[in-house]
Amino acid sequence: MSNWESKQTEFTESILAGNEQAAVALARTSLEEGATPVEFFENCISPSLQDIGKRFETLDIFLPEMVTAADTVEKVNEDVINPAVAESQAGESMSLGKVLLATVQGDLHDIGKNMVGLMLKVNGFEVVDLGTNVPPADIVARAEQEQVDIIGMSALLTTCLPYMKDVCDFLEGKNIRDKYPVIIGGAATHPEIAEEMGANTHGGSAAEGVEKCKMLLGKL
């Protein structure tokens, strides 16, 4: 595939405008032309969301446009990317592992978490997404119920970081901490915070999160 730069520019404009039809059509056409779901994600979706995030930080756009873009990307994922991933994995009985994802209690932001979830799926992981504002006890309970291999938590707000530590403390209290590697990410986190929260590692981006999950499971 070539011409990704122009495709990404067009995709960014479409999702900012909330033009679901144009965004879905661009994704579908790209896959029909031979791009894989991973290639479209890495060359269009991820850089577009990063670009929009930077514009938000510099106040070139505001929260309504961020929400519109996120909702439009979700529509592209539902209509094009996720079905293509499912089709490409049809017949494959083995996954790299099962990852639980959650935005912790008190935090309703999920754009980054959703990016990580999609990136994990297109790289062969099974994902259990609990959504946003998830209490620590629920995260631990679902991890046990779903028999996941990794717990992944996200936070945009620094005030919500203690809930990440609560999850690790709950695991310790149940004597199952070693059973569940923990990775954290989000704007409020960094590698030093991961250590303070008791997590195993930190993912600074969706791509890095996938690599860290592979590392935690010895798949690299």
Dihedral, CA atoms, 191, 63, 73, 117, nearest 10 degrees?
30
Mind listing the pLDDT tens digit for each residue in 28-56? Answer: 999 999 998 878 988 898 888 878 878 88
pLDDT tens digit string along 50-97?
788 788 878 899 888 988 998 898 899 889 988 888 787 666 656 899
Tokens of 36: 């894989």
Both tokens assigned to 158? 């620094």
| CA–CA gap between residue 92 and residue 190 (Å, rounded) | 35
Length of the chain: 220
The helix (H) or strand (E) run that includes residue 201 is strand 201-203
Q: Is the pLDDT of residue 2 over 60?
A: no
Residue 142 has pLDDT above 70, yes or no: yes
Class of domain 4-88: mainly alpha
pLDDT for the residue numbered 187: 83
Banded pLDDT at 111 (limits 50, 70, 90): confident
More confident residue, 8 or 77: 8
pLDDT at residue 167 is higher than 70:
yes
Q: What are phi and psi of 151, to 5 degrees?
A: -105, 125
Choice between 108 and 216, residue whose per-residue pLDDT is larger: 216
Q: 84 by DSSP, 3-state: which?
A: helix
Percentage of the chain exceeding pLDDT 90: 61
Count Cβ atoms below 10 Å from residue 28 Cβ, excluding itself: 16
Q: What average pLDDT does the chain have?
A: 90
pTM of the model: 0.75
- Domain map of the chain by residue range? 4-88, 98-216
Cα 176 from Cα 197, distance rounded (Å): 16
pLDDT at 112: 79
Question: 197 and 184 in contact (C-beta within 8 Å)?
Answer: yes
Strands (E), 164-207: 182-185, 201-203
The per-residue pLDDT for 126 is 92
CATH assignment, 98-216: 3.40.50.280
Place of tokens 């990063």: 50
CA-to-CA dists, residue 45 to 78, 90, 112, angstroms: 13, 23, 12
Cα 132 to Cα 109: distance, rounded to the nearest angstrom: 7
Percentage of the residues of the chain whose pLDDT score is greater than 70: 96
Q: What's residue 27's pLDDT? A: 96
- At residue 1, does pLDDT exceed 60? no
